[in-house]
């Protein structure tokens, strides 16, 4: 069933539209809703004997490649917030190139859809030999990374066929947010915040269903942009990763040059590129970093992603194109935001006439270094 395209033309399209279901599967049996007798909570069976060790770690390392790295980056702020432990991000190949120091007091989280990526697997062997606790987050039961780690969490997102990862990305973020909730569940001071996140996790599949209704708008937008040469995507805070992941999706499938840039760095170089012809997407959904969004890129041709109802506030002179998305808790907003951009990348690729499911030079799983 899962390896057929059904009513869809491409696997990528099918997998984008499957996300309400894949997220439901990822959370099934793990997100405890609570009730009269029961407290709300998170149950991660694969970690039950190791949560205490992770809580005592001196640092958490998140290690991955490509989209899996971006997913961990998206969830990093909430892991730091709820666990109080510093989180270091590592691209697997770069950690290996540097032979970066790893300690026995570290918890290393390996994020990989396939569970077979050579760089991530080798980084796992490296961290394990240095005595770190190794946690695997994969979508493939029995994969090398699942087998090689001390404990882990399966995504349960279902088989992903399209080379460009979509539903695994959103499930990876959901899983790491659940991990953050589990790590912080002893703290009374964060109880309200955790409850609010759990409520929004519960409602996430239906919110994603709402975002998928933007399909037609994204197709229209893609038709307008199909002949562009280049795209910059700015985001900050929770949505720094959204900017990177949007740019990665656009370049890997539609073969349009795209760069994701953390908005705070715009003034330190990228601003020089901005003129009236440059196409820019700004992710500006409401969260604590919104006030810091800089509109210095005004000169460029702007597409602004904002929270529903904010269009007027974001673009009073109506000179930019707006993508309005539903609001959820800040740490879950990257899931909502990327879905519309996945649709944009998909339609751009179809209009540009490239192979959606098998982009040139790329493989679903890179098993050689
Ligand atoms: C390849 C794929 C990407 C993927 C990356 C990491 O480059 O083309 O879509 O994000 O590998 O794969 P993994 O299976 O480790 O998540």
Pairing of strands 41-42, 31-32: antiparallel
Mean predicted confidence (pLDDT) in 44-69: 97
What is the pLDDT at residue 95? 98
Which numbered atom of ligand 1 lies nearest the CA of 68? 16
What is the per-residue pLDDT across 175-223, written as a single tens digit (0 to 9) for each? 999 999 999 999 999 999 999 999 999 999 999 999 999 999 999 999 9
Q: Per the structure block, which two tokens stand in for 243?
A: 């900017």
Please tell me if the CB atom of residue 166 comes closer than 6 angstroms to any atom of ligand 1: no
What is the per-residue pLDDT across 60-93, written as a single tens digit (0 to 9) for each? 999 999 999 999 999 999 999 999 999 999 999 9
What is the pLDDT at residue 240? 97
Report how far residue 200's alpha carbon sits from residue 195's, in angstroms, rounded to the nearest whole number: 9
Please tell me if the CB atom of residue 113 comes closer than 6 angstroms to any atom of ligand 1: yes
Report how far residue 342's alpha carbon sits from residue 34's, in angstroms, rounded to the nearest whole number: 33
Please tell me if the CB atom of residue 123 comes closer than 6 angstroms to any atom of ligand 1: no
Which numbered atom of ligand 1 lies nearest the CA of 168? 16
Which numbered atom of ligand 1 lies nearest the CA of 165? 9
Please tell me if the CB atom of residue 365 comes closer than 6 angstroms to any atom of ligand 1: yes
Determine the distance from the C-alpha atom of residue 126 to the mean position of all C-alpha atoms in its chain, rounded to a whole number: 25
Report how far residue 44's alpha carbon sits from residue 212's, in angstroms, rounded to the nearest whole number: 29
Note the helical H segments in 160-289. Answer: 167-183, 191-212, 215-225, 240-249
Burial class of residue 275 (count of CB atoms within 10 Å of its CB; 0-12, 13-18, 19+): exposed
Instruction: Give the ipTM.
Output: 0.96
């Amino acid at each position: 069933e899962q390896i057929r395209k059904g009513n869809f033309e491409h696997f990528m399209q099918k997998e984008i539209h499957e996300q309400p279901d894949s997220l439901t599967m990822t959370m099934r049996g793990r997100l405890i809703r609570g009730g009269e007798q029961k407290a709300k909570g998170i149950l991660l069976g694969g970690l039950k004997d190791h949560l205490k060790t992770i809580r005592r770690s001196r640092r958490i390392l998140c290690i991955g490649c490509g989209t899996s790295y971006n997913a961990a980056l998206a969830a990093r702020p909430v892991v730091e917030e709820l666990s109080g432990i510093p989180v270091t991000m590592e691209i697997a190949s770069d950690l290996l190139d540097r032979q970066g120091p790893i300690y026995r007091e570290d918890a290393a989280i390996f994020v990989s859809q396939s569970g077979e990526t050579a760089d991530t697997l080798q980084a796992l062997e490296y961290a394990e030999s240095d005595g770190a606790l190794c946690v695997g987050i994969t979508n493939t039961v029995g994969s090398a990374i699942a087998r090689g780690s001390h404990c882990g969490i399966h995504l349960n997102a279902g088989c992903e066929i399209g080379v460009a990862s979509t539903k695994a990305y959103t499930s990876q973020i959901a899983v790491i947010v659940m991990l953050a909730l589990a790590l912080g569940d002893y703290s009374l001071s964060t109880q309200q915040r955790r409850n609010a996140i759990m409520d929004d996790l519960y409602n996430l599949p239906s919110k994603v269903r709402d975002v998928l209704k933007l399909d037609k708008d994204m197709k229209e937008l893609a038709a307008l942009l199909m002949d562009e040469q280049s795209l910059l995507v700015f985001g900050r805070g929770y949505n720094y990763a959204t900017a990177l992941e949007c740019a990665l999706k656009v370049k890997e499938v539609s073969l349009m040059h795209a760069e994701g840039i953390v908005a705070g760095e715009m003034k330190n170089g990228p601003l020089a590129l901005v003129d009236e012809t440059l196409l820019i997407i700004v992710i500006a959904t409401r969260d604590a970093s919104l006030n810091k969004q800089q509109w210095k890129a005004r000169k460029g041709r702007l597409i602004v992603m904002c929270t529903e109802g904010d269009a007027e506030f974001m673009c009073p002179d109506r000179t930019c194109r707006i993508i309005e998305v539903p609001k959820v808790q800040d740490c879950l907003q990257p899931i909502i935001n990327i879905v519309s951009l996945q649709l944009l990348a998909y339609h751009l690729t179809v209009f540009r006439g490239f192979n959606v499911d098998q982009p040139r030079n790329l493989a679903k799983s890179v098993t050689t270094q």
